Amino acid sequence: MGLELYSHIEEMFLDKEAADILWFKFLEILKHLNVKNIIDIGCGNGDFCILAQNSGFNVKGIDLSKNQIKKALEKGCECEVKNICEIEKNFECATAIFDVINYLNENELKKFFKCVEKKVTKYFVFDINTHYAMEDLAIGTLKAENENKFAVLYSEFDDEKLITEITLFEKKKNCYIKKQNSIIQYYHSLETIEKSTSMKLKEIIPISLYGSADAEKLILVFEK
Ligand SMILES: C[S@@+](CC[C@H](N)C(=O)[O-])C[C@H]1O[C@@H](n2cnc3c(N)ncnc32)[C@H](O)[C@@H]1O
């Protein structure tokens, strides 16, 4: 998948205001749950990890992308390139923020939840994208450029999957290097998620990051 390529253009497309809405909502939920030790699965470039550390949580980040972990380490986030199934320590709570769960297909989702269930003692808090967000909002073309990079994202929703083709032209000396890859996000209904885990759904929090009247994401709180 193109998650490694996406890590090289993320800052060109990330809407920081929208991300802040989501991250601060997660912080509010974690404070309310009264947990301290957290594993942030898919910590990305470490922004949430640092926010949570500064709010008094003990956070460990993991991500599958080397480039994301490099950026997160530079910011001071304690993290490593690891799959949740390889983690030995236990945590009170796990988080998976901003699309992480939607990158998993139904089979991967079941294995992923099994590993999370072994590692957390209390809660798993994560977001999933709504059908509306994937079918109506995310489709189409986005372009962005800076001094050295020109990137295009083209997304189509079909058969309950959002496929995003990434094209990046990166300037090296006097020429541009073209890189292409794709990312698939799978739509999961609440029923599918609940069927994939033995944890109990405690709370559903609808959230809109881009001002839509309909929710774009659901934050789900599962309890062990
Ligand atoms: C859109 S980014 C979000 C990053 C961060 N959570 C945030 O809120 O900014 C999704 C991240 O999840 C990572 N990822 C995707 N699937 C993963 C998995 N199964 N385990 C760990 N990381 C994963 C990707 O490499 C990427 O860095």
100 CA to centre of ligand 1 in angstroms: 5
**pLDDT at 212 > cutoff 90:** no
Give me the sign of the Cα torsion angle 85, 53, 224, 161: negative
Q: Lowest mean pLDDT: which of 108-117, 158-167, 169-178?
A: 169-178
Identify whether the C-beta of residue 136 lies closer than 8 Å to the C-beta of residue 114.
no
Greater confidence (174 vs 117) lies with 117
What are φ and ψ of residue 86, in 5° steps? -90, -5
Residue nearest to ligand 1 atom 27, measured at CA: 44
Residue nearest to ligand 1 atom 4, measured at CA: 44
pLDDT at residue 155 in the model? 97
Q: What domain range includes position 171?
A: 133-185
Order of strands across the sheet that contains 37-41: 79-81, 58-63, 37-41, 91-96, 120-129, 217-223, 200-207
Which atom belonging to ligand 1 lies closest to the Cα atom of 82?
Answer: 21
Q: Which tens digits make up the pLDDT trace of 42-97?
A: 999 999 999 999 999 999 999 999 999 999 999 999 999 999 999 999 999 999 99
Separation between Cα atoms, residue 74 and residue 69, nearest integer Å: 8
pLDDT at residue 171 in the model? 92
pLDDT at residue 122 in the model? 98
63 CA to centre of ligand 1 in angstroms: 6
Confidence of residue 173 (pLDDT cuts 50, 70, 90): confident
The model's pTM is 0.96
Are 172 and 211 contained in the same domain?
no
Are 161 and 51 contained in the same domain?
no
Residue nearest to ligand 1 atom 12, measured at CA: 42
Q: Read off the CATH number of the domain in which 180 is found.
A: 2.20.25.110
